[in-house]
Amino acid sequence: MKKTDYFSFRFNNDKLIFLDQTKLPFKEEYIETDSYERIAEAIEKLEVRGAPALGIIAAYALSLSVKNSSAVDIKYNFNSAFKRLGKTRPTAVNLFTALDEMKKIFEQLRDSDDVYITLLNKAKEIHNDDIEKCSRIGENGLKVFRRKSNILTHCNTGRLATGGEGTAFNVIKTGFENGLVNYVYADETRPLLQGLRLTAFELERNGIPFSILNDSSSSALLKSGKIDFVIVGADRIALNGDTANKIGTYNLAVSCAYHRVPFYVAAPTTTFDRKIATGDEINVEFRDKNEITSPNGIDLSPAILEAYTPAFDVTPSHLITGIITEEGVFNFPYNFLR
């Protein structure tokens, strides 16, 4: 396997093949399954993560739920899978958008239709659409560069998080390929270390020079004047531009505003939730306290301790310099969303 031949997931021979990201960076273990329940578990366990990726694999999972169904069972099996997948993770809107798109197709089918093939084709369409959106986000992201830049990013937004080459990561990658990236700093992204384990993995595989820093060092780095801009991804964006992303993003945006460093969000338009007016309506997921107190089963504190465990925070739109989408770069106030 070449350095850049890793992938987050593929659909091949009627099975979803996905990389177990909980094992990275030390082990690249790919899992094959045709079970929607196993895919739901992979979402919950963060074996597959990233808002666009979750939508795509959920679509494949719904297809697989009817693959071997009889005419009598097919509606029950589809609806059971739909409900199960909808309960996996609450914040990333792409998951629910994809589920709703698949359900719309399912409800339009006639008895004579090949339900599995029709749903699978729709899932592949959702996948290919994200590949194209990622490519255009990378190209549009070139517009935010003013010089060869040092960039700070948070969490993971590359091939491991999407159907294509990524969102914020693809802006970095495309910029690097065009001689516009000097150096990248990646937050470790506590508590699950998606920056240290996953973004570092992708930066190294793509030959992009970088350093990892602990999350609490970012303000000092911004104060040093070494960062030209910060770029992150998103899991859900409200109509006013308020953006939910991995916990720690809001801290970073506040520090950027104080130090007058541009702060960008990169996301496909499928991450916009046009049903909610502001970030106050975003359902923020809370994780098990053991992810903080006992990472990888290693006890770091007494079991009696409680923990505050949001997986995401919401950055107010006025702190976001621009949102980079496949349709272009948009600046505050984000009237295009209304």
What kind and span of H or E run contains 185? strand 181-187
Burial letters for 204-213: b for 16+ Cβ neighbours within 10 Å, e otherwise?
Answer: ebbebebebb
Dist. CA 168–CA 316, nearest whole Å: 18
pLDDT in tens, 28-77: 999 999 999 999 999 999 999 999 999 999 999 999 999 988 888 999 99
What pLDDT score was predicted for residue 297? Answer: 83
What residues are annotated to the active site? 235
pLDDT in tens, 99-109: 999 999 999 99
What pLDDT score was predicted for residue 1? Answer: 45
Among 156, 188, 171, which residue's Cα sits nearest to residue 48? Answer: 156
Please, what are the domains in the chain? 9-135 (1.20.120.420), 144-337 (3.40.50.10470)
What pLDDT score was predicted for residue 5? Answer: 85
Give the contacts of 24 (CB within 8 A, at least 6 positions apart). 160, 197, 198, 201
On whether the CB atoms of residues 312 and 245 are closer than 8 A, the answer is yes
pLDDT in tens, 215-253: 999 999 999 999 999 999 999 999 999 999 999 999 999
Q: Residue 3 in 3-state DSSP? A: coil
Furthest CA-CA distance within the chain: 66
On whether the CB atoms of residues 229 and 262 are closer than 8 A, the answer is yes
What is the side-by-side order of every strand in the sheet holding 236-237? 236-237, 243-246, 312-315
Dist. CA 241–CA 282, nearest whole Å: 12
